[in-house]
Every structure is written in structure tokens, then in C-alpha cells.
Amino acid sequence: MTQILSGAATALILLVPAGFAAAQTAPACDPANAAQVRLQVTVSGMRSGDGNMVVTIYPDDPAHFLDGKYKLARQTVPVTRPTTKLCFAFDKPGFYAVALFDDENANGHLDTNFLGIPTEGAGFSRNPTLYVGPPDLGQVRIEAHAGDNPVPVELKYY
């Protein structure tokens, strides 16, 4: 069990790149634009309504998955319960990956305990089970087409 949690901690710490600063905003979602690719992220399972949800979108590039320098977009929004909803707009259909965490104390990073186990919730598109280390891109990548693409994510707490 410790090995599973330790690996999960490693995966979740990678969600927050060094030098994390202000949130980046993706282009506005426009339902009237039929060509626009919209990732409709819906997060559930928050244990409180405190803090912010930090959601990052990554390209379909296994060499740079979870590397904040290569993110496509990031939004930070206040948590709303029972679900927190965000929309990300892109010009091209393709494969994307979503990684997020519940920044309950709004300090801008994923907190961990003295063992390195996250004390705040986290999740990925396609809701993979985490064992040792981060999920690979193949476990979390989603195909997005023009129009609305629902991306439900259930937060996990360790």
C-alpha cells in the first residue's frame, strides 16, 4: 500500500510544474462556433468547497506529458460543489490529456504530508487507477472532435 501511495504522490506532484504562477486562460468557449473543439471538464468528488480547482490540458506528446512547459492551457477557478465545470477551446480536433488538482488552501500547489503523499485531491481524464508513478499518456488521452467533448473527472484523495 505504501508503494502505491508513494507512486501516486510522485504522479500528482508532477501536476504542478516548478515556478507555478498565475493561471493561464484558454480562448473562450463559443457554442455558436461549430468548428471549435471544446473540452467540457466536469470535476466531482471534492471533499469541501474550499479553494480552487487547477486544471491543465496537455498535448498528445508522451515525451512531454505532465511537463508544465509544454501545457496547452491551464485554468484556475473557485471550487463549486457538487461539480466544478470548466471549458477549454481549441482550434483543431485531436488527442488531449487533462490533469487537475483540488488546491483546497489556494496556495497554488499540490500539498503533501511528511511522507510525500498528497493531502489534496487530484485526477486525470479517463480516471485511471494510480499505482506506482504517474499514469502514462495512453491511460489518460482523450480524442476530441469539433463541438462539445465531455470530460468527467472524479477527484481522488490518498
pLDDT tens-digit map of 109-124? 999 889 887 899 999 9
Overall residue count recorded for the chain in this entry? 158
Strand order in the sheet with 147-154: 83-90, 37-44, 147-154
Has residue 35 been placed in a domain? yes
How many domains does the chain fold into? Answer: 1
Has residue 89 been placed in a domain? yes
DSSP string, 86-103: EEEEESS-EEEEEEEEEE
- Measured distance CA(55)–CA(110) in Å, rounded: 12
DSSP string, 20-57: --SPP-PPPP-TT-TT-EEEEEEEE--S-S-SEEEEEE
* CATH number, domain with residue 36: 2.60.40
Has residue 119 been placed in a domain? yes
Domain range for 127: 2-19+29-154
Has residue 77 been placed in a domain? yes
Has residue 24 been placed in a domain? no
Has residue 15 been placed in a domain? yes
Are 113 and 77 within 8 A, CB to CB?
Answer: no
- pLDDT at position 51 is 97
- pLDDT at position 19 is 37
- pLDDT at position 26 is 56
Per-residue pLDDT of the chain (158 residues; tens, 9 = 90+): 444 444 444 444 445 443 333 344 557 999 999 999 999 999 999 999 999 999 999 999 999 999 999 999 999 999 999 999 999 999 999 999 999 999 999 999 999 889 887 899 999 999 999 876 689 999 999 999 999 999 999 999 98
